[in-house]
């Protein structure tokens, strides 16, 4: 069974969380009142960094390099997990906690609706957040959950796009009901060559997002096969939020020293 504790802080989280924070920060700056966040695959509020975790290929690489940057969103993200003596045994925040902390730092009320199907995740989310501020649903989200209640920002972060998880078509339905949304999904490669060629389903997923009128940012962190990178498909009517997202991803890819060109379409 999928457990994000094993993956927390990996390459996908590096891209996803810097992008998410950058978009949310721009939206918070341009608005007032409570900030309403929604996360259809919320995951844990925070994840322990264990000896076997994938964080070594993500935030671990950044920690070792010691490189810094001028991008305020990347710096804010890093300050929330950086531990000077070393990362093993520390915790890495989940997506909802990053936004919670961003609201705290901007002195804005955090309001959220979070969905997840894992009992362990639900238990931790319930122990972490105040019930008055955050509603937690122990079930899959549906598009009609958003008919009458639109968040300021929605994150759609599935464990994958293949069964038993909802497919791309199902996930894209959320964009019909929420004006500001970001979808993260993996990019896959298979076969010979350097880089190994991207799989047809992976290319098709990008085409479908573009056909739907979404912006797409693509990152590749490895020349190898299987999960070689990730994509963000998003609809952010606030142009500053989309620009901030792209700048943060460009900056973090540079910091990670991934030998890859970020594509923004
Ligand atoms: C990639 S993780 C989420 C990570 C989190 N958004 C973050 O960035 O920290 C995906 C989560 O989806 C949950 N999940 C799996 N199937 C689900 C479903 N059908 N509906 C809602 N959550 C699901 C898993 O339990 C897991 O916690």
Q: How does residue 255 score in pLDDT terms, banded at 50, 70 and 90?
A: very high
The pLDDT tens digits for 91-101 are 999 999 999 99
Distance 56 CA to ligand 1 centre (A): 21
The Cα-based distances of 222 to 44, 52, 82, 230 in angstroms read 26, 20, 24, 10
**Helix boundaries (H) for the chain:** 4-7, 11-29, 59-65, 72-79, 95-105, 119-128, 168-172, 174-177, 200-211, 239-256
Q: Domains in the chain, start-ordered, CATH in brackets?
A: 4-264 (3.40.50.150)
Which residue(s) pair with 93 in the sheet? 46
For the stretch 27-70, pLDDT in tens is 999 999 999 999 999 999 999 999 999 999 999 999 999 888 99
Please write the tens of the pLDDT for every residue from 133-157.
999 999 999 999 999 999 999 999 9
Question: Cα angle vertex 45, ends 62, 107, to 5°?
Answer: 85
Task: Note the pLDDT of residue 261.
Answer: 84
CA distance 147 to 133: 20
The confidence score (pLDDT) of residue 63 equals: 97
Structure tokens at 58: 């993500």
Task: Sort 2 into a burial class: Cβ within 10 Å, 0-12 / 13-18 / 19+.
Answer: middle
* Length of the chain in terms of residues written: 265
Alpha-carbon span 224 to 218, nearest angstrom:
16
Strand partners, 216: 233
Cα dihedral 122/127/131/134 (nearest 10): -60
Residue 1 pLDDT > 90: no
Separation of CA 53 and ligand 1 centre (Å): 17
Can you give the pLDDT at residue 4? 87
Question: How close are the terminal C-alpha atoms of the chain, in Å?
Answer: 34
Q: What is the pTM of this model?
A: 0.98
Q: Any residues with Cβ below 6 Å from ligand 1, and which?
A: 2, 4, 16, 39, 41-43, 94-95, 115-118, 121, 140, 157, 159, 165-166
* pLDDT value of residue 248: 98
Q: How far apart are CA 104 and CA 101, in angstroms?
A: 5
């Amino acid at each position: 069974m999928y457990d994000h504790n094993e993956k927390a802080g990996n390459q996908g989280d590096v891209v996803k969380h810097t992008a998410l924070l950058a978009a949310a920060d721009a939206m918070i700056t341009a608005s007032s009142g409570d900030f309403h966040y929604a996360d259809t695959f919320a995951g844990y509020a925070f994840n322990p960094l264990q000896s076997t975790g994938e964080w070594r290929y993500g935030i671990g690489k950044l920690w070792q390099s010691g490189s810094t940057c001028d991008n305020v969103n990347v710096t804010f993200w890093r300050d929330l997990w950086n531990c000077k003596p070393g990362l093993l045994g520390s915790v890495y925040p989940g997506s909802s906690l990053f936004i919670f902390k961003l609201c705290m730092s901007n002195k804005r009320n955090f309001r959220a609706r979070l969905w997840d199907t894992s009992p362990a995740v639900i238990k931790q989310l319930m122990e972490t957040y105040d019930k008055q501020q955050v509603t937690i649903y122990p079930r899959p989200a549906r598009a009609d959950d958003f008919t009458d209640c639109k968040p300021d920002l929605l994150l759609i972060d599935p464990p994958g796009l293949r069964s038993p998880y909802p497919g791309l078509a199902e996930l894209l339905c959320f964009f019909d009901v929420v004006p500001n949304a970001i979808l993260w999904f993996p990019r896959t490669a298979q076969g010979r060559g350097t880089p190994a060629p991207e799989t047809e389903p992976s290319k098709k997923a990008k085409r479908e997002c573009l056909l739907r009128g979404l912006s797409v940012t693509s990152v590749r962190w490895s020349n190898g096969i299987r999960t070689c990178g990730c994509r963000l498909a998003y609809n952010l009517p606030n142009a500053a939020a989309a620009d901030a997202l792209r700048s943060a991803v460009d900056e973090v890819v540079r910091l990670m020293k991934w030998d890859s060109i970020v594509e923004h379409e």
